[in-house]
Chains A and B, each alone.
Chain A
Amino acid sequence: MDIIPQDAPVAAAPGRTAHGLTVRIRTLPRPDKALLNLLFGAALLALVLGLAGGLLTALARAGALRFYSDDAYRLLTLHGVSVFFYWLYLIQAALLLALAAAENGRGLALRPAAWAGAALMLTGFAVSEWISATGTPLLYDGSPELAVDDPRSVGVFALGYLLLAAGLAASAASGIATLLQPRRRGETEEFGAVGFALFAWAGFLIVSAIAATNAFLPGLLWALGAGPFPADHGTEWHILFHNLHYLPLMATVLVWYVLTEHLTGVTSIHGARLSKIVFAAYLVFVPPTSLYHMFLEPTLSDGVRVVGSLLSLFVSVPTLAAFAIIVSSLEASARAHGATGFLGWMRGLPWSNPAMANMGWAVVNMMAGLTFAFVLIQGDLAPMLSDTFFVPGYFHLFAVGVLTQTFLAALMVMLPALNGGPLWRPALLARMPALVTAGLFLFAAAGIAAGTMGVPRRVFDIGYGGLAPAAWPVLMALVGIGASLFAAALSVSVYGVVRTLLSGRKAPATDLTAVAWRVEPSRIGTAPAWTGPVSIAALVAAMYVFTIAAFQLIQSLPIAAIGGGHGH
């Protein structure tokens, strides 16, 4: 089987080298580098806190640790707040600013807004962590119904997220201004695919800030005695939560675009315009697909439920389209270089580079996660599964396997360029994503099976006085083993990134393995590139199989579901 040498020199495209990203980051102004280091460091701190809380929570769910009820919910709150909000949104703000500054080539515009945004987000981080550690545990959605007699906890918790939202909006404003600078200087009249995606993503960040304000301002006003009790918090949370599904996925696909070019020299063979349409499609599909979050409302009419089910089928269209563009571009370029074999062409990718390894395994996790996401969002299954361990079982494939590994991949490329030091032990880091994925698959398989058999979500004592099915503790023990494995491997990756962040200039940075697959357009299409379409077909087939399996298993159980309020 022919493959492409991994040590081939990296191609230099006209006006832009394959290492252009790192060159541009390396030459950013000093204040921008300081801001990015601050945001990357804070994001990693949030990840470490969330990882620790998550591991303890998983061990408690597995029965290996015992906590008093309040302590268990406090851990769960700290885990969710740290990872789902502060890791994912601090890193997105930092990546937006870094990539926008790199696109601009001259650093950040509206720098005071960017710094103000960072100050607001970090203040929100401190406020949220403090109230989560000391107040009534509200879980990550901050439901006021859990603290009707403790308005202080509700108000301070809401304040933390409102500060985060304000900071995101300020950071996005700086990102937008930065992206527009080349136009204002007369250097270009349109964005490239990445520039347009960054522009749209920045707008989406601001919309998410609006959604967060819509969800949490009433809680703060109630706590201050300036408004009624936020009885509609669940509905307002659904809107924010829906945005928060798409936002990091859009960021992930954008990072894949950037890293694919950086690691292989390949840009879309379908042209920048199609890529822009796909990125715009993320935003086009956001509002119409939001209805499925309401499937848990028992009062939802059948008509709305049917429409929501149909629209939910569009939920992953942009992500799959972007995946197909990237994979077909890579495969067509590899085959133009002479690579053969149905999947053999992939062996030529620079897998010894930990950024490539993280990105590649993130794609594997995405395919598995999407399969079960489609199972969950179907109208007849959602009420039965959404309050079970099925939900954490599948969404960790996304949160850890896809999002976190992708953002760590970006940091593994950017931090050495930002600070001038080498990436810590790249050979070791390149092995971690496979271990993370192995742990995640065990966690997900056991968790999804447990959820399908009725193990509840967010309940720490599931013994039910000895009446629980015998399979439950076995499956939850496997959940704990899987969580321990992926947490340990992910900790190594995080440690390596933190060491790289703190390394300064103790040793010269070296560019890691990359390949040069970029070819002239006339050489594209000489051999068919089927991997992308076949992968999507396999995903659809798997979705059908697991949906049928879930229906049959649930119908064999002596249960009935009528909807349970708020699931996520």
Chain B
Amino acid sequence: MKNHEILLMLAIVAVWAVLAAVYAFVPSLGMPGYVRVWGGGALLFLLLAAVLALAGQGRSAGETPRS
């Protein structure tokens, strides 16, 4: 099932988002760049997970897989 691929992408999103939140809400760490990079990465992998889901929907609405 393709769902495990989406779940793996969402696991990445969760870890990156948590780390971005830690750096965002603990100002004493003093590293706002980490918020931008890990947060931006979390959004990117969320987008990729959505793309995977949509690509699967497009197929299921169309033809049957050949392999």
Contact = CB atoms under 8 A, between A and B. Distances in A.
A304 B66 CA distance: 52
A199 interface: yes
Contacts of A239: 31, 33-34, 37
Contacts, number: 95
A283 B11 CA distance: 9
Interface residues on A, range: 35 or more
Contacts of A316: none
A190 B1 contact: yes
B4 to A, nearest CB: 6
A277 interface: yes
Nearest to A191: B5
A187 B64 CA distance: 8
B12 interface: yes
A273 interface: yes
A273 to B, nearest CB: 6
A240 B44 CA distance: 16
A189 interface: yes
Nearest to B59: A186
A123 to B, nearest CB: 24
Given A287-B19, A287-B38, A288-B19, A273 B55 contact: no
A189 B8 contact: no
A271 to B, nearest CB: 11
A280 B9 contact: yes
Interface residue SS majority, chain B: helix
B40 A186 contact: no
Nearest to A280: B8
A284 B65 contact: no
A207 B44 contact: yes
A218 B65 CA distance: 48
Interface in A234-263: 235-236, 239-240, 243
Contacts of A196: 5, 8
Interface in A196-254: 196, 199-200, 203, 206-207, 210-211, 214-215, 232, 235-236, 239-240, 243
A196 B45 CA distance: 13
Nearest to A186: B63
B1 A284 contact: no
A214 B40 CA distance: 11
Interface of B: 1-2, 4-5, 8-9, 11-12, 15-16, 19-20, 29-31, 33-34, 36-38, 40-41, 44-45, 48, 51-52, 55-56, 58-60, 62-67
8 contacts: A15-B67, A184-B58, A186-B62, A191-B5, A207-B44, A210-B40, A215-B33, A280-B11
